Amino acid sequence: MSRPLKPDNEEERLAALRSFDILDSDPERAFDDLVRIAAAICDVPMAAVTLIDRNRQWFKAQVGMDSPDPSLETSFCAHTILSPDTMTVVPDATRDARFADNPLVTAGNGIRFYAGAPLVTSDGFALGALCLVDAQPRQLEPFQLTALDALSRQVSQLLELRRVSRQLSHQLRERGWYEQQMQLYQDQLEQQNADLSEQTRTDVLTGLPNRRAFAAALQAAMHKAEESGEPLAVAVLDVDHFKTINDLHGHDEGDRVLVALADMLKSQSAGRGLAARYGGEEFVILMPGAKRDEAQLQCEYMRQSVGLLPIGLPVSVSIGLADRQRGDTAETMFRRADQALYEAKRNGRDRVVVAAA
């Protein structure tokens, strides 16, 4: 028996075979159909699509074969791939020196006839064969040889299409994964941007809007009030003798006072306006829709509430209040409230002063 040689380009051929990712794959109807068509056209009982691996012969599809032999040493198709440009036809294996003593031939009811058309890739690598087998010697008619050659090209095309389909599927899965990762990254980036934006508009200690956020809210409220004619007031609140609190009790205690004050202001302005920390111990309250006397009453209530805070320290605040006057801008109205605050401090603190109209 003549053992099949290895092709000169064996490593490249095996790499090409691996690229199809087909070895040990499940049966596929398209390959099965081509095998049955080949067997029917050539009137043989056995046919197969074989792929030649490094150390075995693997059957992608077959008909009429019981437990086909995977051994390369006895493989007819391993000889076929040595001549990628031509079919290998063995009319009577007992008369062919390459196969006469092959166990597949010498066995009872062994192989007599074999015809194999190599399965060649677009790069010229022979991966295996579309083969026909019979236990009787025979000759194929020219039209049968032509059909076998054509069907082998169909198998090769099917292999190529299968590979392209799997590559596209893989790329789509990868694309889906990358798109998912990009979306996740985008979501995280947007959240980070939102967090950063929130940080630029929120006071870290108290959680209230900061000076920047208040300035934007005041501008928006002024614009709305100008269009609607509704009243608008703004108050500036400052903790009296706050430096003394820090000096006597420490900055941690001072922070505790600011947080408690912020919580009270947030609670009392909820649904009616906006409380913000302007800086240091100074807070601002925006009161849209509040007339002058209503805003003053609200400020008096806030001032009294400060003295009732359960913080264990005597704390009071001074408040300057201004309501929107004709010709006011956000800056001029805030400046009038700030001036009223300093008047409250000059007049003894712990009081509300309303800016003159």
Residue 62 sits at φ, ψ, to 5 deg, of -160, 155
d(CA 357, CA 164): 81
| The two three-digit tokens of residue 234, written as one number | 């703004």
- Report whether 225 contacts 233 (CB < 8 A): no
- Of 141, 179, 227, 281, catalytic: 281
Distance set, CA 232 to CA 149, 154, 273, 333 (Å)? 92, 83, 10, 10
Listed in sequence order, the residues at least 6 apart from 135 whose beta carbon sits closer than 8 Å to its beta carbon are 45, 109, 110, 111, 112, 113
| The two three-digit tokens of residue 289, written as one number | 């829709």
Classify residue 188 as exposed, middle or buried by CB count within 10 Å of its CB (0-12, 13-18, 19+). Answer: exposed
Active-site residue, 281 included:
yes
Side chain identity, residue 192: Q
Q: Which residues are catalytically annotated? A: 281
